[in-house]
Structure 1
């Protein structure tokens, strides 16, 4: 009841434009980064427009003894892309007894890319019995191709413990591993358990298995539920497997996905345009995708410029792909160098290839292109 009163008072202060007072009250009412209070707090800062002042209010509130304000401070720092400072705030919350171990692990993994430290915190969260820890750790492990067996074991433990979110993550893991047959039962079970977010990957699995009617039905449900990624998945479905009317509407669906800022929309729309020989338009979308962090876009741009005999721009794009972490762009660049008699430049790619996870066969491929044995 006390928290509800605090939230009501905060809402009233916010409505009157008293941002600092409202922010302090939201911090006092804070319970979890996933709840409505967290959303209201971040919306308030955006409406206020003075991030520095907001940070000062939260810091002062935390130092006055309101421990939850450290979590609010961490959420805002992550929002403004200051993960190191967010980590300090979470450590202060942890020291004060707040259950932020799992959140700390996520910041280390997703924001700071410190997988060694992240794993320690994930294991600590599991030991502490934090809800969702096994599931989140399984997802973390599944990002490492060398630990997929371990990831599956952890996710199965999460399922046994009653975490229905792990059902969808098991399905996604097998889908990303190009094994739709293994993905299907997990995603189907997740949907049966009420996990609506599996509708989109489930439809993708069904498309891969040729179950187009089932995929259409599930994508229709996903659109109705406004599931993340549904609009883009529907656009791709319409373009590739839709009825005549759906194919005609595909481009409009891609444009809607772009308007909704769905991840991957620029890249998929570029593929759609390139398939229809609308190359100049495709280039613009690939460039937008690359700017959004889609590493594969650089390779597609490089190939387009190679086709156009623009070697200088093609080489710039290959290098852009390598900088973005795309091993395939590096291997294709090596082929490009060999084609133009620049084998002496290929050995410089050996170290970057190893850093990007090249396997033995790929390393041998590079050596062969460089003229070695």
Structure 2
């Protein structure tokens, strides 16, 4: 039976009785995927486009993902902007989230987050809060936004507040918010919540929580356990850090390369660390470039050190800019500090960081 005959048969079986609405949309989504898989891409995108214009979120997300894969993020952003300007529900927030992932598009992303909030999109406050917490200078604003999201009933906001406090090293403040999130059934926070417990010296509870996360196959649990073990002077009941880091690598766990590289470097295994730092840099971790630069500077390989300092700056790492400035000053290259200062300012460096670079220029 041909693909056409299979689809026609399914249509006749399910829709001759006049069933419409969401059920029909689900069928059309399946049709669009099949058409794409048999290389009828234009027809597939036409179906998805019509569903997206009617406000079907799944269709819009599939269409954007396909556009990213086929033509890149810029084309996908153009498509989402078209939907947003036409008032398609959810498109403004989807566009904001896409732009937020692209360094250099934050001002435009914020505009669309605010548009989504003005439209009353229930997820907009939480997503905007997450966007804000990536900027240390806007910590209080992120906190206030996530609190508002929690107060209007978004369960994800409690976990994001907890993560924000955890990332800031305020483990005591993070604890009750992790507890709220777990009570609300947000299992995705379990790995980081376990790390928070471990940081508070509550190792037994942390290991119990990790076991729960592992049994539920929560993404990130394997890596989180490796990180808990790597911060401890003793192996856990389930093994040692390297075993769990390797398992996380085998699982292709997002973000595993950087902490594994840090652990390897701390054990004096620099060559292995370099390989994982390089992998982490390819994955988009900006701090990886700084760590590579420091290693190569320590080895007197100034050419590679400078390449990674500059790559770190290009990734938006202000700390890389400040450290690069010290590197240049120590090598009597004060004339090059002006462009580093300019780059740091463009990245939104704090006045303290700017002053530190300026002082090196005057030294």
TM-score scaled by length of structure 2: 0.82
For 1:46 and 1:285, the matched residues in 2 are separated by 36
Residues 48 and 63, structure 2, Cα contact 8 Å, conserved in 1: no
Match of 1:3 in 2: none
Determine whether 1:143 maps to 2:130: no
Match of 1:76 in 2: 66
Report matched runs for 1:339-354 at 5 Å.
339-354=330-345
For 1:112 and 1:262, the matched residues in 2 are separated by 23
1:240: Cα distance to partner? Answer: 2.7
Residues 258 and 285, structure 2, Cα contact 8 Å, conserved in 1: yes
1:191: Cα distance to partner? Answer: 0.5
For 1:263 and 1:11, the matched residues in 2 are separated by 41
Aligned CA RMSD, in angstroms, stands at: 3.4
For 1:116 and 1:10, the matched residues in 2 are separated by 46
Match of 2:357 in 1: 366
For 1:160 and 1:173, the matched residues in 2 are separated by 17
For 1:169 and 1:229, the matched residues in 2 are separated by 15
Larger deviation, residues 265-274 vs 64-73: 64-73
Q: Kindly tell me: are residues 37 and 281 of structure 1, through their superposed partners in 2, closer, same or farther at Cα, counting changes over 3 Å?
A: farther
Q: Kindly tell me: are residues 71 and 167 of structure 1, through their superposed partners in 2, closer, same or farther at Cα, counting changes over 3 Å?
A: closer
Match of 2:167 in 1: 176
Match of 1:86 in 2: 76
1:341: Cα distance to partner? Answer: 2.0
For 1:37 and 1:369, the matched residues in 2 are separated by 63
Q: How big is each residue's C-alpha offset from its partner over 1:90-109, in whole Å with a ceiling of 9 and x where there is no partner?
A: 35545666412322332333
Report the 3-state secondary structure (helix = DSSP H, G, I; strand = E; otherwise coil) of the residue aligned with 1:226: coil
For 2:214 and 2:183, the matched residues in 1 are separated by 18
For 2:5 and 2:127, the matched residues in 1 are separated by 33
Residues 42 and 76, structure 1, Cα contact 8 Å, conserved in 2: no
Residues 239 and 246, structure 1, Cα contact 8 Å, conserved in 2: no
Q: Kindly tell me: are residues 348 and 133 of structure 1, through their superposed partners in 2, closer, same or farther at Cα, counting changes over 3 Å?
A: closer
Determine whether 1:59 maps to 2:46: yes
Residues 313 and 320, structure 2, Cα contact 8 Å, conserved in 1: yes
Q: How big is each residue's C-alpha offset from its partner over 1:176-230, in whole Å with a ceiling of 9 and x where there is no partner?
A: 2221221111111110111111112212221222221121111111112222211
Q: How big is each residue's C-alpha offset from its partner over 1:297-343, in whole Å with a ceiling of 9 and x where there is no partner?
A: 11211222222222222222222222222222222222222222222
1:356: Cα distance to partner? Answer: 2.1
Count the aligned residue pairs.
Answer: 346
Report matched runs for 1:279-358 at 5 Å.
279-358=270-349
